[in-house]
Structure 1
């Protein structure tokens, strides 16, 4: 195996590893975790670092999260073994390669990897489109019509701004205008925006009726959002 091929293979493998990290982060966010918590959990599982007792409760409290965790850990073991084997094989086969050229190639590969990863995480257009694509697949594959996936967009002290995909309209909202649904009076939630299937945003009024396929941006406590849109027996 030539050093050029080895470096290319390592670069491709690491890029795939980082993409998988982002994919599983999005999938865990769909279960109601914040992005920071989801990313921490995924990195811990992919690197096989393990959890403390309080952190593990986030996973064991949900059957869907436990299934996701199993798949994530499996990927982590596979990639860890593959990467270590590739590195060892690479160095064992090094013969006659100019050290300076090798160092330059490795540095270029690492810099390229950092630029791509930075673009994925920091350039909103790239990250949002990638995350939305994964979220659409995840919603269909993981949830179907079982419950309404919640993706936390921002945290403000005790409240959050979240995106809820309506796949199964709650009984409290079924064919009801918002002014008659007690969303604000009972759950203390405020629906900010309704996004239709065609990505068309509609203003929210008291006469608004939520339909299957809608996405809503909602503000309130995560506990109350889950209470309204997730039935525990369906979520688990």
Structure 2
């Protein structure tokens, strides 16, 4: 293996590693974890550091999250072994007379990696479309219309703003107008926006009727959101 190829392979692997981290973060967010918690747990599992904090109960208490955690940890072990093997092989082939050029190539590769990763996380168009693509695949693969995935968008003290993808319409909304659903009385929830047919944003009023495929932006306590939209027997 040439030094140039080793550098290219190593940083390609690192980019893949970062992408895998982002993908699993999105998948864990679909199970109702906040982005901060999901990312922390994914990084802990991928780096094989474990997830021994009190928040680990959020993972172990759910059957779907346990399965997802098993796959994440498996990816972590595979990547760790591969990266260590490549680093050892790289340094064994290192030639002292080639050190300066090698440093330039490594620095260039790091800059390219940072630019690519920055564009993925910071450019809204790229990140939003990437999130939508992974979410769409994750919803079909993980839930199969048995559970309405909840993605937390913001936390405000004891309440949250969450995006709920309706794959299994709750009975409270079955051919019932929002004004007759009593979700404010029974669940103290407020529906802010409805996204239908991809990117069409609907104005919410009392006559609105929800249907499968809608993305609902809802405000209220996470406990009540889960109580309304999740079938616990299918989720746990």
TM-score band, normalised by the shorter chain?
over 0.9
Secondary structure of the residue aligned to 2:170 is coil
Partner deviation per Cα, 1:143-193 (whole Å, 9 max, x = no partner) = 011010001111111111111000000111111111111111111111011
| Aligned structure 1 segments of 4 or more residues deviating by more than 4 angstroms | none
Partner of 2:202: 202
**TM-aligned CA deviation for residue 114 of structure 1:** 1.3
Decide which moves more: 65-74 or 174-183: 174-183
Match of 2:169 in 1: 169
- Whole-Å separation in 1 of the counterparts to 2:176 and 2:9: 56
TM-score calculated relative to the size of structure 2: 0.97
Task: Give me the whole-angstrom Cα distance separating, in 1, the residues matched to 2:82 and 2:169.
Answer: 44
Aligned to 1:78: 78
Counterpart for residue 38 of structure 1: 38
> Aligned residues, how many?
236
1:189 corresponds to: 189
Residue pairs, 1:1-236, within 5 angstroms? 1-52=1-52, 54-95=54-95, 97-236=97-236
Runs of 5+ consecutive residues of structure 1 not aligned to the other structure: none
Determine the C-alpha separation between the residues in 1 that align with 2:154 and 2:174: 27
Mapped partners of 2:6, 2:53: distance in 1? 40
Please give the alpha-carbon distance, in whole angstroms, between the structure 1 residues aligned to 2:17 and 2:69: 16
| Segment of structure 1 superposing worse, 77-86 or 148-157 | 148-157
Gaps of 5+ in 2: none
Judge which range, 122-131 or 92-101, deviates more. Answer: 92-101
How far apart, CA to CA, are the structure 2 residues paired with 1:57 and 1:174? 34
TM-score normalised over the length of structure 1: 0.97
Q: Cα RMSD over matched residues? A: 1.0
